[in-house]
Amino acid sequence: MINIVLFGKPGAGKGTQAEFLKEKYQLTHISTGDVFRYNLKNDTHLGKEARVYMDAGDLVPDELTTKMLIDEVNKHPDTNGILFDGYPRTIAQAQALDAFLTTINSSVAATIALEADDEILVARLLERGKTSGRIDDQDEEKIRNRYQEYNDKTAPLMGYYKEQNKFHAVNGIGTIQEITQRLTQVIDQL
């Protein structure tokens, strides 16, 4: 079982790239955003709690996010591996993920960060917000708040995974195919 964490700031292309990677490596793609949207759309208890944070442009607290993700992983007991898209976002989440994976005799094989300039990402999200209907993609101030949250809480994950020799940075600017090629070069070396 190969588990890969794909992370980067909102708009970095995690979802787009995950679609290609899940097919190529026959992985189960678990997107934090998709899990949240499911819970929001279905007005679950967890979805109601998450909505308060998301509408403010904040990250959902670790405990709530972790519960949703573990529930989702448990739906795929026979998978070749999981491609985590947008999780973990904090060291506490990474530790919770490591602890959970240990209980199913697995671990994170690698983390890959899609890196891109904030100004390019803001433009991407504002454009996506025109068609996605996502409130958090339609307000530049909320987008920038999400980036500050990322810098404060998620960026420290680099050090956490570097200490385990599992961190890889990939340039997230270019064509979809160019970025996919960069990602597959990393994964093929695992």
- Residues tagged in the binding site annotation: 11-16, 32, 37, 58-60, 86-89, 93, 128, 134, 146, 174
Report the alpha-carbon distance of residue 182 to residue 168 in Å, rounded.
11
- Residues tagged in the binding site annotation for ATP: 11-16, 128, 174
If residue 82 lies in a helix (H) or strand (E), which one and from where to where?
A: strand 82-85
Report the alpha-carbon distance of residue 133 to residue 150 in Å, rounded.
22
Report the alpha-carbon distance of residue 92 to residue 143 in Å, rounded.
23
How many CA atoms, within 13 angstroms, populate the side-chain half-sphere of residue 166?
Answer: 18
* Contact in structure between 143 and 136 (CB atoms under 8 Å): yes
- Residues tagged in the binding site annotation for AMP: 32, 37, 58-60, 86-89, 93, 134, 146
Residues in the chain: 190
Three-class SS of residue 181?
helix
CA-based end-to-end distance of the chain: 12
Sequence letter at residue 62: D
